[in-house]
Structure 1
Amino acid sequence: MKNLMYRKAAKVWTEALPLGNGRLGAMHFGGVEVEQFQLNEDTLWSGPPSKDKKYDDRESLKKVRKLIDEENYEEAISETKNMFGSYTQSYMPLGDMKIHFLHGNIARNYERSLDIRQAVSSVKYSVGNVHFKREAFISYPHQVLAIQLTSSEENSLHFDILLESILKNRTANSENELILQGICPEYCAPNYFNEDKQPIVYGEFEETKAIHFEGRLGVVIDAGEKKIQNGKISIHNASKATIYFSVATSFNGFDQLPGKYFGDLTRKNEEILAQAMSISYEQLKAEHIRDYQSLYNRVELSLECNKPEEILDTDERVKKNGSSDLGMVELLFQYGRYLLISSSREGTQPANLQGIWNDLTRAPWSSNYTVNINAEMNYWPAEITNLAECHRPLLKLVSELAVNGERMVSDRYGLRGWTAHHNTDLWRHADPVGGDRHGDPIWAFWPMSGPWLCRHLWEHFSFSQDRTFLETEALPIMKGAAEFCLDWLIEDENGYLTTSPSTSPEHLFYTDKGQVGSVTKGATMDLQIIWDLFTNCIEAAAVLDIEDEWIENVKHARERLYPMQIGKYGQLQEWAIDYEDVEPHHRHVSHLYGVYPGTQITEGPLLDAVKQTLNRRGDMGTGWSLGWKICLWARLKDGERVNALFQQLFNIVEAKNEVFVGGGIYPNLLGAHPPFQIDGNFSYTAGVVEMIIQSHKGYVELLPALPSTWIKGSINGIRVQGGFEVNVSWDKLRVTGLKVTSNTENLFVFKSCTSVIIREEGRDDKRLDPIDGLIEIDMSENQTYQLLF
């Protein structure tokens, strides 16, 4: 099953179907009388680069640390607010393309679908004796949204096209094209909206320093009449029409003022449209599919099962069958890969809190990059599901953020290295947010996103074994983040290194004296992330044969980090002190970073404490929180518990029921926090792989968390650490075959309790026996082995 299918048009945004090429995004509604494509472009953000005043927080830092040592937590919170900076900017919607058909709204045999194998959406219906069809896609090679409209009878297409935007805009038309020009607001943080939740725009239309944009639309028809006037294209008596839409913006880079000349944007758009319209629609579509499938077709998941006999709309099928429908389990897995390809391609911005799809000027949490979990979670499936190229936009963000983060760390704290805090945006905002003390330290003050983001640099190397990338790109940035950590750590009364001030993202605690606190020292997540960064730096230095004073300092500091503690309930403590949770079932499980995505906790009493923590937290959660718990329980090898979480995730959230409780998915299968956050989709896809194959311990483990309902199946094209691609099949919950291809010269190690037969083309079969439960195969580049169990 590779289609999302519905027999009714979308009435609300969370029923529309997403299209994208990493840069351009569209939500396809599929209306009969009025078709709508809600449009986005990934550099449409409010603001120019921030020119905030310089902050010097060294005195506040000393005061906060002293207050924490005195256990004066209320004053510590107040003093921490003195270290807040401005809010991030907001991701903006481009506008809407609306197609008004003149055939009325009474239709039969209606069907709309999204084929995620080809990244093409379609609508079919009949009005009278005429059959109408539309299909749409967004091409990465040609950078256009293409929409083809056809009718079964000649001269039966009659429609008008308009472009609209809620941003400051003007519409016009040339002799052949419809034009929408507009400007984003200069400021669009929470304090810069009017009572109608519309952005307050400063500056005249031609003088503002904000991002300018132009959308340009052309139409090719096979017959009939085309008229363009008064900002509208009218088509009459056509049998086939193809719409081409391109967008250009004046974004010049994260550290540069945007351009302000619409003429530059016009030239870009005219060139894009001319190239796209110089070839046939069929060729444009074929090149789009070929490009998309070069990524999508790398991985295939098959869970053999009895398919439901009844044909239902996708959302109705989820409601009826839930996660027991293994066809839907497959579909949602590949949907996550589809969404990543569609929202993050080389040369684009990374996927934000909503990927690239947003219809609001004040989106939830500004649709920014929330880097205390959500932005990182977006990329959990990138390397393992063979989409390393889609990881590159995030890696570029890290390199750019390090530039602003280094300046921020020096100005604010007088320290070396770089980091960032809870949020960032197109302009690579690195300061703590909060806006003149209005925020709360539990989310506004968290200087650990730099070290966490560095895990993505290390993972890109560990899956690819690209030494050049490690030496020239990854390690210099990792080193800067480690230098910040070395300077940020302080020695406690017992000689351990710890962090202060420290928060466990978005969670409060009770002290023994009844105080409600958020700011303390030694939050477990801080120390796990620092341990992770230090460990990866040490391993990187070993790969590159680096032995110097800096790496020795890292080694010594790692040994002195405050150790993790087991609390009075047998749980892994969230803070250095065994505080009581204000919210025992809080959605964040920040202190379990060391299990997933980290690798610090793999066995022993601490692992038992992790399980106790998850049991105390409970299985309820919002969309992304369920996704993290899925990944955690998969890494803990409990497939039945994961399957129970799937039952919650496969819960359709209707638009009228958007309340901040138990998440799930919307009718269009996008993740529901609620509201919409795309990280729920991405973490689910990563969790499915984690159930089938793991490689974080230095060896590959097959079927570690398979639930009893996944009796037979296979997954092909999965990447594991060390530079390998694997196919694995199973039957009756036991591995039956393993195919391994090495992309580099390396030792492939996997866990097995039985002997295996190794088969290589042109050579005799060979038997391999496990030693201490492991089988090792020395592989050269581009070598492939078939292993039979």
Structure 2
Amino acid sequence: MDFIFKKYTSFFKNLAVGFLILFFWLIYSCSNTTINEPKNNQSIWFENPANNWNEAIPIGNGTLGGMVYGGIESDTIKINEETLWSGGPRDLQNLTAINYLPRIRKLLLEHKTKEAEALIDSTMLGEYNECYLPMGDLIISQISEGKATNYKRQLDLNKGIVDVTYNLDNVIYKKEVFASFPDKAIIVKMSADKSGQLNFSTSLTSLLKHSVEIKDNRIILSGNAPKHAYPHYLGKKDALYEEGYGMRFNMVLHIRNKGGNVTTEKDKLIVQNADEVELLFTATTSFNGYDKDPVKDGKDYEQIAKNTVESLSKTDYSKLKSRHLKDYKGLYDRVSIDLGKSSKDSIPTDERIKSFSPGTDPSLTALYYQFGRYLLISSSRPGEFAQPANLQGIWSRLLQPAWSANWTLNCNAQINYWPVETANLSELHLPLVELTKELSVDGAKTARNMYEANGWIAHHNADIWRTTSPVGGSGLWAIYQVGSAWLCHHLWEHYEFTQDKEYLKEVYPIMKGAAQFYLDNLQRDEDGFLVTNPSESFENYFVKPDGEKGWACVGATQDMQIIRDLFQNCKLAISELDTDKEFGVKLDAYLSQLLPMRISPSTGRLQEWKDDWKAATPFAGQVAHGWGLAVGNQISPRTTPELAEAFTKTLEYRKPWEANNSGSWTGSFSAKFWARLGNEEMLQKVLDEHFEKALFPNLTSNFGGFWEIDGNLGITASIGEMLLQSHDGEIEVLPALPSFYPNGKVEGLKARGGFTVDMEWSGGILKQVRVHSQSGEKAVLRYGEQLREINIDKDRDVNFYF
């Protein structure tokens, strides 16, 4: 009996131990579970078709963009192609401005502002940018009667696919729409739950000059862009067409049907009694590089489109879809984010936005973050002739789009890429890197011709033809001298996150060239400091103590912050590459002579200009001299507390987030300011303002009635920065987490030094951080005042518990 008792006692002990092991393993597994499958809402959806552009759903593969309306009787997908612009290569070099530059500089040093401004406007400005153009529309007109019920139009962010479903005449219809990067196409699959029910016509059209040909279940629209298109704000409506000029393009739609038949009627294809239909669409232009005439030296766009469609027509839909999913999810699934559930997860997106009130919808913040990542994936892919996201990403519906839908280099183009590295989409940064390289070519001519300087410069605007001279209108914006330096900040940031030395070797000459321009071009002010002259501060006017109002100045604070950042980053690159040390010594000498930031003795605020002048419109939302906080690292609560306090006073006075409903750069900068200052409640205030007042029904950012994508992407970056920052040589987790998100989990965020960070918190307290090292670099992990040393081998990870 003792033997039996001991035997079973041992058995139950082992069983108990086994259960304990299982129990703790389950706890560990749950704590380490990824959230690639969403625990909250990861879709944008509506109960009605779109009535206009601001209700449509954007799709894109980096090259092709579409806005899906999801109509029933008539459905539209508005099409863009990233390289379709007006104009062509042109020489806009100003060869006479250099004759007036010494006089302008002297006038500004003598404080003769009005005379200097007049001379700048009359001698230094040039032509306006060309315009990014809409390519056309894919139209589907259904042949049916009756009223649809159970309508739903949804973008599944986890798949990058739009679904449209509805019930009509007791038939359930479905459309599945996606833009495929691997197959260079927009693909629509139409089906019904009863056979023979698909009856519709389809056509292609364009606002540009075009012709249409129909052949073998295929529609081919061929067109050409104008030689020149004016910016919308000039009030000139006519685009200029001229024989032998203007980019060529075509759109090709191929129909593949199961059941029924396809016939031709004028410029339409008619589908009758089909069971399933696939619309396979692609588009190309003759663009063959920024320096090649798209007519004389254009690529064979027609043959390229034909080859693409032939390949599509021979590939099963299931394979097309699986290739899209593999490619898209390979980017999107890198980051998962859960900031808590919301009762509003279950209502349509337009209603969710309409009914938004602060403090009611935490999961909207996570949804918005992932939507921003989706927009980057859709509008910025590397590849031959790849273009970075412009003012509207890749989507534009007007022949004269807002501000030409160009790359505005005094903030908008750069804001688009604020989130890209932290959001674990590093390779999507490369189109902006390529734009910077290409601008340096014409920029070297502009530096030489306008300033008699070496190196290169880009001013306020750029278009696909990569000209760098000041544009027309007013020097208030046009003579912005640090567009090139700000772009080079992105060259360095990409290295900081990737630690790719081969890449750094490639871009260092571009950074050096930008720095060389300022070494040659900086001027002495009356106190002996090196400054930009002429200068202006983010299109802001100042008021001098004597009441004179103006914009032209010397050494605006933002200029000096950006140039300092460029010089410092060049020095870091020199150290990393162990090269060009003589140039580093020269940079050191100049760094010590740059005009420093100044705090106003009368207000305690950080000065926007060299002199203690007031802003003429302090509440317009433009707070230029916060660049060193929001973008650079020259203002920090931890390393430069006096400057941080002075700029905080500036924010408290000027309240930029209240301007323009926190749309576009006003919300983007404001949110970034408070995130960097670690003021989580003010950050949440800006997010609330943005969600409440600055969003169109389709979640895109409204600025003056137009979608400006930097509003979306700047806020995306700020959400990322409330969770993770890596600016001060440390990896700081939850540096600005509002109390609105007491429980949460995020995985896949990136930090400088090649680190990937996952974290989880509960009750507002961090529980666990997992850090993966891509490069084996050392770092410091910070949570509040707690510090942990990170010394992780390459391609290994470590868990930290708090």
**What is the TM-score with the length of structure 1 in the denominator?**
0.93
Larger mean CA deviation between 612-621 and 398-407 belongs to 612-621
SS of residue matched to 1:356:
coil
Counterpart of 1:669 in structure 2: which amino acid? Answer: L
Which of 701, 705, 722 is equivalent to 1:671?
701
TM-superposed deviation, 1:590: 1.1
Q: CA deviation at 1:52?
A: 3.0
Q: CA 1:244–1:310 in 2, change beyond 3 Å: closer, same or farther?
A: closer
Match of 2:17 in 1: none
**How far 1:105 sits from its partner (Å)?**
6.1
Where do 5+ consecutive residues of structure 2 fail to align?
A: 1-40
1:337-383 CA distances to partner (integer Å, 9 max, x unpaired)? Answer: 00000000011210000000000000000000001000000000111
Q: What's the counterpart of residue 99 of structure 1?
A: 140
Q: Does the CA contact (< 8 Å) of 2:336 and 2:747 recur in 1?
A: yes
Aligned partner letter, 1:728: M
Partner in structure 1 of residue 390 of structure 2: 352
User: What amino acid does structure 2 have at the position aligned with 1:581?
Assistant: A
Match of 1:380 among 400, 418, 421: 418
How much does 1:114 deviate? 0.7
TM superposition shift of 1:198: 4.2
**Residue number among 167, 171, 185 corresponding to 1:126 in the alignment:** 167
Report the counterpart of residue 792 of structure 2 in structure 1.
Answer: 779
Structure 2 partner of 1:726:
757
Cα displacement string for residues 481-507 of structure 1 (whole angstroms, at most 9, x for unaligned residues)? 000111121122222111111100111
Residue in structure 2 matching 1:601, options 631, 635, 654:
635
Q: Which residue of 1 aligns with 2:533?
A: 500
Contact 2:574 2:581 in 1 (8 A): no
Shift of 1:752: 4.6
Does the alignment pair 1:430 with 2:468? yes
Q: 1:403 to 1:105 in 2, by over 3 A?
A: farther
1:513: how far off? 2.5
Q: Secondary structure at the match of 1:354?
A: coil
Distance in 2 separating the partners of 1:189 and 1:416 = 32
Letter in 2 for 1:218: H
Could you tell me whether the CA contact under 8 Å between 2:257 and 2:274 is conserved in 1? yes
Letter in 2 for 1:718: L
Alignment CA distance shift 1:53-1:375 (3 Å): closer
- Counterpart of 1:762? none
The answer to whether the 8 Å contact 1:173/1:229 transfers is no
The answer to whether the Cα contact below 8 Å between 2:423 and 2:749 also exists between their aligned partners in 1 is yes
Q: Which amino acid aligns with 1:582?
A: A
CA distance in 2, matches of 1:261, 1:750: 54
1:419 corresponding residue in structure 2: 457
Equivalent-residue separation in structure 2 for 1:278 and 1:193 (angstroms) = 48
Find the counterpart in structure 2 of residue 761 from structure 1: none
Alignment correspondent of 1:3: 43
Counterpart position of 1:219: 255
Corresponding letter in the other structure for 1:321: F
Deviates more, 1:321-330 or 1:273-282: 321-330
Q: Say which SS state the counterpart of residue 289 (structure 2) adopts.
A: coil
Output the CA distance in 2 between the equivalents of 1:314 and 1:191.
31
The residue aligned with 1:58 is: 98
1:363 paired to 2:393: no
Q: TM-score, with normalisation over the residues of structure 2?
A: 0.91
Match of 1:49 among 89, 92, 111: 89
Give how far 1:320 is off: 2.1
Which one of 26, 37, 41 corresponds to residue 77 of structure 2?
Answer: 37
In structure 2, C-alpha distance between the alignment counterparts of 1:70 and 1:699, rounded to whole Å: 45
Q: Take 1:117 and 1:277, find their aligned partners in 2: how far apart are those partners?
A: 26
2:564 equivalent to 1:524: no
Q: Tell me the residue number matched to 1:316.
A: 351
- Given that residues 211 and 260 in structure 1 are in contact (C-alpha distance below 8 angstroms), is that contact kept between their aligned partners in structure 2? no
Work out whether residues 125 and 132 of structure 1, in 8 Å CA contact, stay in contact via their aligned partners in 2.
Answer: yes
Residue matched to 1:768: none
Tell me how far apart the structure 2 counterparts of residues 212 and 486 of structure 1 sit (CA, whole Å): 42
**Cα distance in 2 for residues equivalent to 1:740 and 1:198:** 56
Per-residue deviation, 1:548: 3.0
The equivalences for 1:201-350 within 5 A come to: 201-203=241-243, 207-208=244-245, 210-259=246-295, 264-305=300-341, 307-308=342-343, 311-323=346-358, 324-347=360-383, 348-350=386-388
SS at match of 1:381: coil
Q: Secondary structure at the match of 2:176?
A: strand
Contact preservation (8 Å) 1:193, 1:200: no
Structure 1 contact 178–228 (Cα < 8 Å) conserved: no
Cα separation, 1, equivalents of 2:47 and 2:742:
32
SS at match of 1:220: strand
2:94/2:124 contact within 8 Å kept: no
Summarize deviations over 1:608-630 as a string: whole Å, max 9, x none. 01101111111313312111110
Q: Which whole-Å CA distance do the structure 2 matches of 1:521 and 1:515 have between them?
A: 16
C-alpha contact (below 8 Å) 1:193/1:199 kept by paired residues? no
- Aligned-pair distance for 1:753? 6.7
Give, in angstroms, the shift of residue 514 of structure 1: 2.1
**Separation (CA, whole Å) in 1 of partners of 2:232 and 2:379:** 29
What's the secondary structure of 2:567's corresponding residue?
helix
- In 2 relative to 1, CA 48–326 (structure 1 residues): closer, same or farther, beyond 3 Å? same
Paired with 2:103 and 2:372, the residues of 1 have a C-alpha distance of 46
Structure 1: distance between partners of 2:52 and 2:238: 20
Q: Which amino acid aligns with 2:346?
A: I
Which residue pairs with 2:18 in the alignment? none
1:543 counterpart residue number? 576
CA distance in structure 1 between the partners assigned to 2:368 and 2:530 by the alignment: 43
Task: Confirm whether residue 68 of structure 1 aligns to residue 108 of structure 2.
Answer: yes
Aligned-residue offset at 1:310: 7.9
Does the CA contact (< 8 Å) of 2:735 and 2:784 recur in 1? Answer: no
Q: Distance in 2 between matches of 1:617 and 1:447?
A: 25
**Offset, 1:261:** 9.1
1:15 paired residue number: 55
Asked whether the 8 Å contact 2:288–2:297 carries over to 1, the reply is no
Instruction: Report the CA distance between 1:194 and its aligned residue.
Output: 8.1
Q: Give the whole-Å Cα distance in 1 for the aligned partners of 2:736 and 2:674.
A: 8
- For 2:497 and 2:517, locate their aligned partners in 1 and report how far apart those are by CA, in whole Å: 26
Structure-2 change in CA distance of 1:256 and 1:719 (3 Å): same
**Alpha carbons 1:32, 1:105 under 8 Å: kept:** no
Deviation at 1:179? Answer: 0.7
Question: Does the CA-based 8 Å contact 1:370-1:423 persist in structure 2?
Answer: yes
The whole-number CA distance in structure 2 between the counterparts of 1:521 and 1:777 is 44
- 2:336 maps to amino acid: E
Q: Does the 8 A contact of 2:729 with 2:779 survive in 1?
A: no
CA drift of 1:562 comes to 0.8
CA deviation profile, 1:503-562 (whole Å, cap 9, x unmatched): 001110112232221101110000000110011011111111235332111111011111
Q: Which moved more, 1:668-677 or 1:290-299?
A: 668-677
- Aligned match for 2:428, one of 377, 390, 394: 390
Query: Matched residues in 1 for 2:344 and 2:363: separation?
Result: 12
Letter in 2 for 1:235: V
1:544-693 to structure 2, matched below 5 A, reads 544-546=577-579, 548-567=581-600, 568-602=602-636, 603-618=640-655, 619-622=657-660, 623-624=663-664, 625-651=666-692, 664-674=694-704, 675-693=706-724
Structure 2 counterpart of 1:467: 501
2:629 is paired with a residue whose SS is: coil
Task: String of CA shifts for 1:374-426, please: whole Å, max 9, x gaps.
Answer: 00000001111100111110000000011110111111111010011100010
- Equivalent residues of 2:287, 2:298 under 8 A apart: no
- What letter matches 1:95 in structure 2? G
1:192 to 1:330, Cα distance in 2 relative to 1, 3 A: closer
Decide whether the 8 Å contact of 1:528 with 1:594 is kept in 2.
yes
